[in-house]
Structure 1
Amino acid sequence: MTEAGQPSRAWPDWYWPASRIWIDAFNQSAVYSPDGMLIQFDNGTIWQRAVPPPVRRRR
């Protein structure tokens, strides 16, 4: 999603290796890590997925 909350699509960038995607809404490409937890955009911005800690249930 963009900063304005609009959904965006990304697809493999045909001109680069398999780990590069093109994001149409941002008009730029990015490289993602093999585990999909990190995306680095061409402008230097880095997105890292936050994994919430497991929920502990009381017994």
Structure 2
Amino acid sequence: MYNLIVPKDKLLRQLNKQVDFSFVYEELRANYCLDHGRNIIDPVRMFKYLLLKAIFSPT
């Protein structure tokens, strides 16, 4: 469905293809405990949200 809606030349599609967001896990490893406390929101998902907010927020 995603492939039908989002054009191939769209900035967000290109960004997702070009950037390996796994670096976020490494950067935050000391701040997240995987087996204690509440379930966390995936750090990569949160990073992408903040990136989208930075790109598309009116200044």
Identify the TM-score tier after normalising by the shorter chain.
under 0.3
**TM-score, length of structure 2 as denominator length:** 0.22
Structure with the larger helix share: 2
Structure with the larger strand share: 1
The answer to which structure, 1 or 2, has the higher relative contact order (CA under 8 A, 6+ apart) is: 2
**TM-score, length of structure 1 as denominator length:** 0.22
